[in-house]
Amino acid sequence: MRKAKINEARRCPICGKSESQVNAGRNRSGTQRCFCNECKKYYTLEPKTREYSEEIRQQAMKTYYTGVSGRGVGKIFSMSKANVYNWIKKNDTDSERRTYIRAR
């Protein structure tokens, strides 16, 4: 059986205990997973965000509205063209489109 190390930096987000925390491998993105022997729950120490920042989204949409294709925007920003099309579809309002076109 694995021994629990006491590390004050490692604290269970569910029960708040810092003792009885055991390493439990890594997740797909490579960050450390832990197991709490007190509440019997798994958790990730410092989970990575898997989304683009709002600034990148705005730049991609602005580039799209200036006349670059969705595929072109995807290549410029090294992302999937589906991301660009989904953001456009989600935030598609006539006023937004007009402000981007006027800004040129």
Secondary structure class of 33 (helix, strand, coil): strand
Q: The domain that contains 19 carries what CATH number?
A: 2.20.25
Q: Same structural domain for residues 65 and 96?
A: yes
Taking the CA atoms of residue 59, residue 74, residue 76 and residue 102 in that order, the dihedral angle to the nearest 10 degrees is -40
Same domain membership, residue 69 and residue 43: no
pLDDT at position 63 is 92
Residues 43 and 78 reside in one and the same domain: no
- What would the pLDDT profile of 77-103 be if each residue is shown by its tens digit? 999 999 889 888 888 765 555 555 555
Total count of domains within the chain: 2
Helix (H) / strand (E) element for 97: namely helix 94-103
pLDDT tens string 29-72: 788 899 998 899 898 887 777 788 889 999 998 999 999 999 99
CA distance 38 to 17: 8
Residues 4 and 43 in one domain: yes
Q: pLDDT tens for residues 13-38?
A: 888 888 888 888 988 878 889 999 88
